Amino acid sequence: MIDFWLDTKSGLSPYLQLAQQVRHALRLGVLREGDQLPTVKDVVATLAINPNTVLKAYRELEHQGLVSARPGVGTFVTRSLVDGSFAAQATLRKDLQRWLAKARLAGLDEESIEALFASTFRDEQGVVA
């Protein structure tokens, strides 16, 4: 079972934050296939958020094929995110470390690196979406 938390300053909608936390948990292996997500009632009781927010997050995850809602019982994980990208992640991490070294050699400071990454990432998102 995972515990949710809310970052009020993140600029990301609450329901997206919840969905993100579930996906994160799935990647780390905290949540596995067949696990039950916290009930709407429990999340509401802990976080004092709108129940529609929780429902929306769970619907989003269901739409992404990660969970499935069983009426009267609860919402259960149907897919794990662990194995697919896990192996690739080790390689990607090494590539990233090499790129960071190159950026620093070019004279970029921390913020320039972040800004460069962020703007490229956003542009990529725009192309993909």
Residue 45 near other proteins by CB under 8 A: yes
Residue 84 near other proteins by CB under 8 A: no
Radius of gyration for the chain, computed over Cα atoms and rounded to the nearest angstrom: 18
Distance of closest approach, residue 38 Cβ to other proteins, in angstroms: 13
Residue 21 near other proteins by CB under 8 A: no
Which of 1, 13, 29, 118 touches other proteins by CB under 8 A? 13
CA 114 → CA 89, 101, 109, distances in Å? 20, 14, 9
CA 90 → CA 13, 70, 87, 93, 98, distances in Å? 30, 36, 6, 5, 13
Distance of closest approach, residue 53 Cβ to other proteins, in angstroms: 7
Contacts with other proteins, residue ranges (CB under 8 A): 6, 8-9, 11, 13-14, 40-41, 44-53
